[in-house]
Amino acid sequence: MSVYILGIESSCDDTSAAVIRDDVILSNVIAGQDVHRNFGGVVPELASRAHQQNIIPVIDNAIRKAKISKNQLSAVAFTQGPGLLGSLLVGISFAKSFSMGLGIPVIEVDHLQAHILAHFIRGAALHGEPSGDKVPSFPFLCLTVSGGHTQIVLVKDYFDMQIIGQTIDDAAGETFDKAAKIMGLPYPGGPVIDKLAAAGDPSRFTFSRPVTSGLDFSFSGLKTSILYFLRDELKKDPDFIEKNKNDLCASIRLTIVDILMNRLQQAAAATGIKEIAIAGGVSANSLLREKLETTGRELSWNTFIPKFEYTTDNAAMIAVTGYFKYLGHEFASFRSKPYARSKW
């Protein structure tokens, strides 16, 4: 008999709900939050309020799009953390009361594990049966790059994951966002820089590259070097950013992607693993996607690039993680609490 899971994601600034039948996605509804646009980052209190407004229509929409009745649901999976506590609480409270009303279990999902397990979502359910999409085999390496995290994870099994490298300061997504803010571009900066970079010359400007040990990352030096460089240039020409926007974006994007790819190559060489995936919001970056493919071809890697809709925050990844936990009967108690910081 099929398992139907409702996934709920509310860790940051996207309210999302998805329904999955086993590992086949039936719906994935995401409501973004425009309220943060003018603040250069997410304002936690505004995020919680927007989640409260969005959560019922988003869930209702996800169940309707999946063309199932809520009574067919086997369990409700929710993001427990890491994330903004006030935002997480909205999703958790809804998940608990909804499942209590339906008499079905709740399942806790770690947001970072979910970004990785998004690679196991089978698609195309709305247009017929799944196409047998290619999924990674264990063990594989995953470069998880989001707004809050930058990690290289050794994935031994669905829930047996080990971080073998991570940032010692800023995350890659955060660096894109901060660079955009310095240049007066809107939040989130990653997609904006990616788009402007397409028409720019990446070799025009060079920025400092970090010196970190092992497989760790550091991005705060890069952020500072962008800040100081622009401050000096703006003194000479107040229109410097406007005149060089595309080249600046292309140079910044190349620097960040090179830092990520260098470490990933090192990790692959150190572990001997050739199954290589990327995940998280920054995995939407067109240059990172392109470089993973070309490097993968050169080094005979088997590469896994998520579909765009599963890169930035979404509930489909929460639902598929919930499905694997359901199979292992890993249910939560109604006392479940959110956590702000990563548990591993």
Which positions touch ligand KG4 (CB under 6 A)?
12, 146-148, 173, 176-177, 188-191, 194, 280-282, 284-285, 312-313
- Residues paired with residue 155 on neighbouring β-strands, in sequence order: 140, 161
Specify the residue, 246 or 342, whose C-beta has the smaller distance to Zn ion. Answer: 342
Q: C-beta of 189: minimal distance to ligand KG4 in Å? A: 5
Give the nearest distance from C-beta 44 to ligand KG4 in angstroms: 14
Q: What does 82 bind: Zn ion, ligand KG4, none (CB cut-off 5 to 8 Å by kind)?
A: none
CB 331 to ligand KG4: min, Å? 25
The dihedral through the CA atoms of 98, 311, 40, 173 has a sign that is: positive
Q: Which is nearer to ligand KG4, 12 or 55 (CB)?
A: 12
Structure tokens at 198: 């397409």
Nearer to ligand KG4 by C-beta: 40 or 105?
40
DSSP SS3 for 316? helix
Residues in the chain, total: 344
Identity of the residue, 73 or 256, whose beta carbon is nearer to ligand KG4 in the bound complex: 256
Give the x-and-dash track for 292-331 against Zn ion (CB under 5 A): ---------------------x------------------
Whether the CB-CB separation of 256 and 176 falls below 8 Å is answered with yes
Nearer to ligand KG4, 75 or 88 (CB): 88
Q: Which is nearer to ligand KG4, 154 or 171 (CB)?
A: 171
Number of residues that bind Zn ion (CB under 5 A): 2
Closest separation between CB of residue 284 and Zn ion, Å? 11
Residue 284 C-beta: closest distance to ligand KG4, Å: 4
**Would you say 301 and 295 are in contact if contact means Cβ atoms under 8 Å apart?**
yes
Angle made by CA atoms 167, 173, 175, in degrees to the nearest 5: 75
Sign, CA dihedral 47-49-52-58, equals negative
In angstroms, the CA 182 to CA 178 distance is: 6
Q: How far is the CB of 320 from Zn ion (least distance, A)?
A: 14
Is the distance from CB of 267 to CB of 139 less than 8 angstroms? no
- 30, amino acid identity: I
| Beta-bridge partners for 279 | 144
Question: Is 87 among the residues that bind Zn ion (CB under 5 A)?
Answer: no
283 binds, among ligand KG4, Zn ion, none (CB under 5 to 8 A by kind): none
282 binds, among Zn ion, ligand KG4, none (CB under 5 to 8 A by kind): ligand KG4
Q: How far apart are CA 30 and CA 73, in angstroms?
A: 20
Cα gap 62→43, rounded to integer Å: 26
Q: Least distance from C-beta 318 to Zn ion, angstroms? A: 10
The residues, ordered by sequence, that sit 6+ positions from 155 with a Cβ below 8 Å of its Cβ are 116, 136, 138, 139, 140, 141, 142, 161, 277
Q: Is the dihedral of CA 244, 246, 252, 254 positive or negative?
A: negative
Antiparallel, parallel or unpaired: β 150-157 and 160-166: antiparallel
Task: Tell me which stretch binds Zn ion (CB under 5 A): 118-126, 143-151, 199-207, 233-241.
Answer: 143-151
The number of CA neighbours under 13 Å toward the Cβ of 43 is 12
**Shortest distance, CB of residue 301 to Zn ion, whole angstroms?**
24
Give residues 155-184 in contact with Zn ion (rule: CB under 5 A): none
What does the binding site for Zn ion look like in residue numbers (CB under 5 A)? 146, 313
